[in-house]
Amino acid sequence: MSFESPFGKSITSEDIVDTLSFFDDWEERYKYIIDLGKELPAMDDAKKTDDYLLRGCQSQVWIDSSAENGALVFEADSDAHIVRGLLGMVLAAFNYKTPAEIIAFDVDEYFSQVDLVKHLSPTRGNGLRAMVQKIKDTAAAA
């Protein structure tokens, strides 16, 4: 996969936690998350197939992965702006990390630092958990 993503490199989970802490209300935070989604490189339409489709999401979400120098690189996309932003948040934590780093990462702590899950609808929350589970399963299988 010769594809570059800023998530996990120039945009890290720490950056996102720091930035979200500046916003006082959730409307501003949602706007920031949607803007994050605009930074997500578009996935090739040829990969938007059932092979890469993530089950358990309200929106359509596709995730692909490859190994690069011992690290996993994820490519992801969605048909919903807010979900693209949530994918960006997830990839900021997991992209370009080794399988061991991915498995060890405390994603619940990350989401609680930004108070995220309680501000999502139950179906979005389930979708977010499905994204994280897919990445952790990929790391466990690597």
Nearest-angstrom CA–CA distance, 33 and 11: 12
Is the separation of the CB atoms in 9 and 96 below 8 Å? yes
Is the separation of the CB atoms in 43 and 62 below 8 Å? yes
- Indicate if 57 belongs to the active site: yes
Band (2; pLDDT cuts 50, 70, 90): low
Give me 16's structure tokens: 């996102």
**Is the pLDDT reported for residue 57 higher than 80?**
no
pLDDT score for 140:
97
Is the separation of the CB atoms in 98 and 72 below 8 Å? yes
Band (30; pLDDT cuts 50, 70, 90): very high
Domains of the chain and any CATH numbers = 13-141 (3.90.1010.10)
pTM (whole model) above 0.75: yes
Place of tokens 């979200």: 20
Helix (H, G, I), strand (E, B) or coil at 96: coil
Active-site residue identified among 20, 33, 54, 57: 57
